[in-house]
Amino acid sequence: MSADRSDATTLSDLLLERGLRTKDEFLVGAKLWVGENHANKLAYTSVSAFLINAAGFDNVPAAIADAGDALRLKKVDVELTLEEFVCLFKRFAVSLSDPHFGLEGREFATD
């Protein structure tokens, strides 16, 4: 998977604008979940953001290391459509394969 943040709006900015994070919290991850589709209609899309209490990118690694096994992140659910989520990125790529084939992380050539 690869995703480049948009130059226009980022998830971090959106969370701040909506009052879902403070300036002392830093976005360290996000989860997108898309529910079952019924007759080619999506039933439900869920976005969760994960925040750490550390102001600024440079402070995050130390905050994570200092927490050790007791690392706790704040989970914030964000109401976004699938299109709104994808538009938070300049480019968004996801690769999928069956785990039984062992392709994840493996180099391979294509025709």
Q: What is the reported pLDDT for 19? A: 96
Domain ranges of the chain: 7-89
Q: What is the reported pLDDT for 1? A: 60
Between 3 and 47, name the one with better pLDDT: 47
Rounded to an integer, the average pLDDT of 93-106 is 85
Output the 3-class SS for 42-107.
ECCEEEEEEEECCCCHHHHHHHHHHHHHHCCCEEEEECCCHHHHHCCEEEEECCCCCHHHCCCCCC
Q: What is the reported pLDDT for 2? A: 60
pTM of the model: 0.79
Under the banding of pLDDT at 50, 70 and 90, the label for residue 65 is very high
Decide if pLDDT at 3 tops 80: no
- The 10s digit of each residue's pLDDT in 5-62 is 666 788 999 999 999 999 999 999 999 998 877 788 877 789 999 999 998 889 999 9
